[in-house]
C-alpha cells in the first residue's frame, strides 16, 4: 500500500505517478523494472519515489491491485446482476474479461504478470492482498469455488500470453472451459 504521503497528493500528481508506474510495468516485468525509469519519467528524485512507496514491488502490487480488483469486481458485479446464478455469470464473464484484458494498458500489465510470476511474488502478493487489497471483496471472495474458478481463469490467462492467443481464441477457450464446468468434462 502506498505511504500516506502518496494519498495526500493532489489527484493530478497521483495520476501522473500512476501513469508512470503503468508505463514501466507495461514495458517491463517486475524483475526488469526500475525505480530509475519511473523517477526519470516523472522528473523527480529517487528519494521522492520512496516517500510514496516502500519499494518497487509495492508500487507494482498497488498497480496490480487496481487492475485485478477491477477484473475481480467485474465477476462479482456480474454475479450480483445475475442474482447469484453462477452458470450465467461464468458464461457472461469470458467476453467481459476479454474486453478488459485486451484494453491497451491492461493487456501488457497482465502479460508481464502472467509470464513472469513466481512463487516469491505469489507469497508477497498474498500478503499485500491480505493487508491492503480491495480485490475480491464480498461474500464470495474466500469460498473454495471462487479459488477453483480463479485457478482455471488464471491458467487460461497464462496460456493466452504464452500461446499468444487473439481475443477470440481466448473467448473460445474460456467458453470451452465453462462448458466443461457446467456440463461436465466427459460430455
Instruction: For CA atoms 140, 145, 149, 154, give the dihedral sign.
Output: positive
Instruction: Could you please state the CATH topology (level 3) that the domain comprising 4-183 is classified under.
Output: Tetracycline Repressor; domain 2 (1.10.357)
Please give the DSSP secondary-structure letter assigned to residue 187. -
Domain ranges for the chain: 4-183
Residue with cell 500528481: 13
Which stretch, 98-107, 111-120, 123-132, has highest mean pLDDT?
111-120
Class of residue 43 by CB neighbours under 10 A (exposed 0-12, middle 13-18, buried 19+): exposed
Which range (81-85, 129-133, 177-181) has the least confidence?
129-133
134 has pLDDT over 70: no
pTM for the model stands at 0.82
Query: Which residues are CB-neighbours of 26 under 8 A, at least 6 positions away?
Result: 105, 108, 109, 112
Cα 169 to Cα 62: distance, rounded to the nearest angstrom: 30
Which range (50-59, 85-94, 138-147) has the least confidence?
138-147
What is the model's pLDDT at position 140? 53
Amino acid at each position: 500500500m502506498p505511504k500516506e504521503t502518496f494519498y495526500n497528493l493532489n489527484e493530478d500528481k497521483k495520476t501522473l505517478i500512476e501513469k508512470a508506474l503503468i508505463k514501466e510495468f507495461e514495458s517491463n516485468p517486475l524483475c526488469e523494472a526500475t525505480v530509475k525509469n519511473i523517477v526519470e519519467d516523472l522528473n523527480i528524485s529517487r528519494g521522492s519515489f520512496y516517500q510514496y512507496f516502500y519499494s518497487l514491488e509495492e508500487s507494482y502490487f498497488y498497480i496490480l491491485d487496481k487492475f485485478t480488483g477491477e477484473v475481480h469486481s467485474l465477476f462479482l458485479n456480474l454475479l450480483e446482476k445475475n442474482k447469484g446464478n453462477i452458470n450465467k455469470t461464468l458464461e457472461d464473464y469470458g467476453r467481459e474479461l476479454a474486453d478488459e484484458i485486451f484494453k491497451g494498458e491492461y493487456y501488457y500489465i497482465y502479460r508481464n504478470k502472467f509470464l513472469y510470476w513466481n512463487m516469491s511474488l505469489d507469497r508477497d502478493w498474498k500478503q499485500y492482498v491480505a493487508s491492503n487489497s480491495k480485490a475480491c471483496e464480498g461474500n464470495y471472495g474466500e469460498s473454495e469455488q471462487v479459488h477453483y474458478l480463479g485457478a482455471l481463469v488464471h491458467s487460461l490467462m497464462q496460456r493466452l500470453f504464452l500461446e499468444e492467443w487473439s481475443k477470440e481464441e481466448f473467448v473460445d477457450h474460456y467458453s470451452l472451459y465453462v462448458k466443461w464446468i457446467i456440463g461436465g468434462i466427459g460430455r
